[in-house]
Structure 1
Amino acid sequence: MQPGITDAARYRLIMLIERERHDGIRDGTITVLFRRWRQRQASAGHVYRTALGRVAVDAIDVVTTAQITDADATAAGYPSAAAAIEDLRGSPGDPVYRLAIRYVPEPDPRDELAATDDLPADELADVAARLARLDRASRTGPWTEAALEIIDRRPAVRAGDLAAELGREVARFKLDVRKLKNLGLTVSLDTGYRISPRGAAYLASRAGERRPGDRQG
C-alpha cells in the first residue's frame, strides 16, 4: 500500500463504483474510472473488494480534464470526454485521477475461507488469538465477541440497527465487521450480515467451552 492510504481509504473506491457500471466492468467494456480526489484513495497493483466483486487497479495517473480523451471516456462508459468531465464529483480544484481497472473473476479467498466449517483445534485457537489481538488493538475496548453474537442473533439486519443496539458508531462498526469478514467469520448480505459456516463453527466451540456440562451425555 502506498504511504498515506489507510485501510479505510481503500474501501472508499468500493462506494464510488456506480451500479450502472458494474456490468460493463464485469464484461470488460469498462476499463477506466475517473475520480476527483483531494487525496489519492487507491493504488496501482492492488485488488479491491467491491460490491460487484474483485476489481484490480493496474495503473493510476493524475490527469487534467483537458487530457481526458473521447477514447478514455468511452472506456469509462461515457459517450464523450465532456460527459465524463461533467460527471466528476468533488471540488474543481482537486486532482483528477485516471484508473486503469479490470474485473478479477477469481473467487474471493475470504469466501472460500468462510465456507470451511471443519476447524481443528489448532485453527480454532488461531482464530481466537486473532480476535484477541483485534480486541487488544481497539481503543474502545473488546468488541469482537459482541459483534459476532449480534450478527448471529440478528442476521440480515441493517448495520445501523446493529450498531445502535451495541451503542457504537455505524462507520466504525462496519469497518470492524470487515475485519471479521477478512477472517472468514461473517458474510455480507444486501442488507446486513450473517455468520459464515466458519464463524458458526467458531461460535459453537466457544459455547462448548463455556458450558462443558452441556456436552456430557
Structure 2
Amino acid sequence: MLFRKAILDQIAEGTVTLAFRRWTKPTVKAGGSLRTASGVLSIDAVDGTDAEDISVEDAHRAGFPTREALLAELDARPDGTLYRIAFHWAGDDPRLSLRDDAALGKVDRVAIIERLARFDETADQSWAEPTLRLIASRDGITAAEISERVGMDKLELKARIRKLKELGLTESLDVGYRLSPRGRSFLGET
C-alpha cells in the first residue's frame, strides 16, 4: 500500500488514520503492520465498503480536503473491491536504527554471514555478498546495473536486495542503493 509524501507526513503527525483502496484482494490485514517512509503502521481494520458510505470525516481522516477529492482519486482506479483501512502510526521503522548500528560484534557478524549463506543457498547461486560489494562500489548503483553484473533478473534482484535491507545492510536512494553504516562495517569499510 503506497502513500504520497504529503499523506505520509500527515500519518506521522497522527492526522491521517484511514486509507481507501480498490483491490482484487487486500494487501494488508487487520492485526498486521506495514512499513512506510513515515514509519510502521499498525493495521486496525480492513473492511469492504461502498463509495456512498464514505463520509466527509472519513475523507479528512484519509488526508483529503473533501469527500469529492477522495472519490475522484478512487474513480481513477475503478477496478476491484473498495476497502476502508483503519490504522495508526506504531513507531519508527526499526531498520533505520539497525542500519545505523555499525558496532558489529562477533555474534552479529556470524549471524549476518549465516543469513547471507542461506540467501545464496535458497537461490542456488552466490549473489548476496557480490551484490553488497557492487553496492559498496558506488552510491546510487541501480538494480539494472547490479542485475547485469550478477546475471539475475532485475525484479528478482530487487526482491533480494530487500532482504539485505531487512538486515540493515543497505539503503534505498531515490535512484539506486548504497551501503548503510552497518553494511560498510560488515564489509570492513569503516
TM-score range, shorter chain: 0.7 to 0.9
Contact 2:34–2:40 (CA under 8 A) maintained in structure 1: yes
TM-superposed CA distance for 1:162, in Å, is 3.0
CA distance in 1, matches of 2:73, 2:14: 21
* Match in the other structure for 1:25: 11
Note the alpha carbon deviations across 1:176-208, whole angstroms, 9 max, x for none: 111001111112223322212222222229xxx
- SS of the aligned residue for 1:87 comes to helix
Return the letter of the residue paired with 2:95.
Answer: R
Return the letter of the residue paired with 1:44.
Answer: A
* Match in the other structure for 1:175: 159
TM-score normalised by the chain length of structure 1: 0.77
TM-score normalised by the chain length of structure 2: 0.87
CA distance in 1, matches of 2:106, 2:35: 30
Larger Cα Rg: Structure 1 or Structure 2? 1
Out of 106, 111, 116, the position equivalent to 1:126 is 111
Q: How many matched pairs?
A: 188
Question: Gaps (5+ residues) in structure 2?
Answer: none
* Match in the other structure for 1:56: 42
- SS of the aligned residue for 1:113 comes to helix
Note the alpha carbon deviations across 1:139-193, whole angstroms, 9 max, x for none: x622101210110002123333333443433322222111001111112223322
CA distance in 2, matches of 1:146, 1:121: 21
Out of 98, 101, 114, the position equivalent to 1:116 is 101
CA distance in 2, matches of 1:48, 1:163: 27
CA distance in 1, matches of 2:103, 2:4: 38
User: Percent identical across equivalent pairs?
Assistant: 36
RMSD: 2.1
Question: Gaps (5+ residues) in structure 1?
Answer: 1-12, 206-217
Residue 25 of structure 2 is aligned to residue 39 of structure 1: yes
